[in-house]
Structure 1
Amino acid sequence: MSDTKSQDKAERLKAALKENLKRRKAQARGRQAAKSSGTESGSLSVSGERDKASD
């Protein structure tokens, strides 16, 4: 019975690792696309402008 539990755990771990790898690859592709288009930190500049004091 513990063999079945360990197999189930191994399958869940395998699936989680596979999904994590997919997500990391998608993030890397997104970063690469942003870097090549020149808008690497667009969201940072928007928040920076929002935090400026308005006189």
Structure 2
Amino acid sequence: MRSIGIVMETPEERKARLAQALRVNLRRRKAQAREQADGTVPPATPPESTD
């Protein structure tokens, strides 16, 4: 049987990873907002629900 090798991260590592992900997401969203304001990219439409 093979071991998967999952390593648990410390709370500090998790906090740093999430903070970095938030910064990246914010930069991407700001860039998208700038593009939409310039009119170069149409606003994204949410996927249609299949409910």
TM-score between the two structures when normalised by the length of structure 2: 0.61
Q: How many residues align?
A: 35
Question: Which stretches in structure 1 are left out of the alignment for 5+ residues?
Answer: 1-5, 42-55
Question: Which stretches in structure 2 are left out of the alignment for 5+ residues?
Answer: 1-7, 43-51
- Measured in 1, the distance between the counterparts of 2:19 and 2:37 equals 27
Query: Which residue in 1 is equivalent to 2:46?
Result: none
**Could you say which structure has the higher helix fraction?**
1
For the aligned residue pairs, the C-alpha RMSD in angstroms reads 1.9
Which 4+ stretches in 1 moved above 3 angstroms? none
Provide, for residues 3-42 of structure 1, a one-character-per-residue CA deviation record: whole Å limited to 9, x for no partner.
xxx8x7101000000000001100110000000001116x
1:33 has 2:34 as partner: yes
Equivalent AA in structure 1 for residue 31 of structure 2: G
Query: Which residue in 2 is equivalent to 1:21?
Result: 22
- Measured in 2, the distance between the counterparts of 1:40 and 1:34 equals 6
Query: Which residue in 2 is equivalent to 1:11?
Result: 12
Equivalent AA in structure 1 for residue 18 of structure 2: L
Computing the radius of gyration from Cα coordinates, the structure with the larger value is: 1
